[in-house]
Amino acid sequence: TRTSTTRRRKSREDTCCVASTASAAAAVDRDEGVEVTETKEPNCRVRLNVKVPPSICKESYEEVLAVMRKETQVPGFRRGEKIPDIVLINYVGKEKIKTATIEVVLNRTLPEAMSSVKDRALKESEHIETKFNALQASFSPSRFLSYDVVVDLAPEVKWISPKAYKNLKVVIEVESDTAIKNDAEAELKARHKDLGSLKIVQDRGTQTGDVLVLDVSALRINEDGSDGDELSFWEQKGFHLDTEENAHLVPGFIDAILGLERGQTRSFELAFPLNWKQKELQGVRARFTVECKELFYRDLPVLNDTLADKLITGCSTLNQVRETILQKRREMEEIRKTQATQQAILQELSKVVEMDIPHSLLEEQGRNLYGAKLIQLQTTMKLTEDQILTLSSAKAVNNYLLSQKEKIKEAVKQSLAIEEIFKLENMQ
Domain that holds residue 416: 357-428
pLDDT at res. 428? 62
Q: Residues 247, 361: one domain?
A: no
**24 vs 130, residue with greater confidence:** 130
Q: Residues 284, 409: one domain?
A: no
CA dist 149 → 7, 130, 146, 192, 206 (Å):
18, 7, 10, 66, 71
Q: Residues 137, 212: one domain?
A: no
d(CA 56, CA 106): 11
Three-state SS for 13? coil
Q: What's the full length of the chain, in residues? A: 428
Residue 131 lies in a domain: yes
Residue 167 lies in a domain: no
Whether the predicted pLDDT of 21 surpasses 50: no
Indicate the residue among 260, 280, 299 that finishes a domain. Answer: 299
Average pLDDT over residues 141-154: 93
Residue 128's pLDDT band (cuts 50, 70, 90): very high
Helix (H) or strand (E) holding 382: none
Q: Residues 144, 7: one domain?
A: yes
Are the C-beta atoms of residues 152 and 121 closer than 8 Å to each other? yes
Residue 350 lies in a domain: no
Segment 34-64, tens digit of pLDDT: 999 999 999 889 999 999 999 999 999 999 9
Strand partners, 40: 46
Residue 225 lies in a domain: yes
Whether the predicted pLDDT of 115 surpasses 70: yes
- Residue 357: alpha-carbon gap to chain centroid: 16
Q: Residues 149, 206: one domain?
A: no
Residue 164 lies in a domain: no
d(CA 408, CA 362): 6
Are the C-beta atoms of residues 110 and 15 closer than 8 Å to each other? no
Q: Residues 7, 150: one domain?
A: yes
d(CA 196, CA 24): 77
d(CA 268, CA 282): 18
Model's pTM, two decimal places? 0.60
CA dist 41 → 38, 48, 359, 361, 422 (Å):
10, 10, 12, 16, 29
Indicate the residue among 250, 276, 299 that finishes a domain. Answer: 299
What lies within 8 Å, CB to CB, of 175 at 6+ separation is 183, 333, 336
Q: Residues 233, 364: one domain?
A: no
Residue 319's pLDDT band (cuts 50, 70, 90): very high
Q: Residues 202, 282: one domain?
A: yes
Mean pLDDT of the chain: 87
Residue 335 lies in a domain: no
Are the C-beta atoms of residues 413 and 350 closer than 8 Å to each other? yes
Q: Residues 145, 272: one domain?
A: no
Residue 330 lies in a domain: no
Q: Residues 204, 293: one domain?
A: yes
Segment 243-295, tens digit of pLDDT: 998 778 899 999 999 999 999 999 999 999 999 888 889 999 999 999 999 99
Long-range pairs for 340-349: beta carbons < 8 A, 24 or more residues apart: 340/172, 340/173, 341/170, 341/172, 344/170, 344/171, 344/172, 345/168, 345/170, 346/414, 346/418, 347/170, 347/410, 347/414, 348/168, 348/169, 348/170, 349/165, 349/168, 349/413, 349/414, 349/417, 349/418
Residue 324 lies in a domain: no
Whether the predicted pLDDT of 199 surpasses 70: yes
To 10 degrees, what angle do helices 94-114 and 54-71 make? Answer: 130
d(CA 12, CA 111): 8
Q: Residues 129, 43: one domain?
A: yes
Total count of domains within the chain: 3
Q: Residues 34, 136: one domain?
A: yes
Strand partners, 227: 221
Indicate the residue among 154, 183, 210 that finishes a domain. Answer: 154
CATH of the domain at 124: 3.30.70.1050
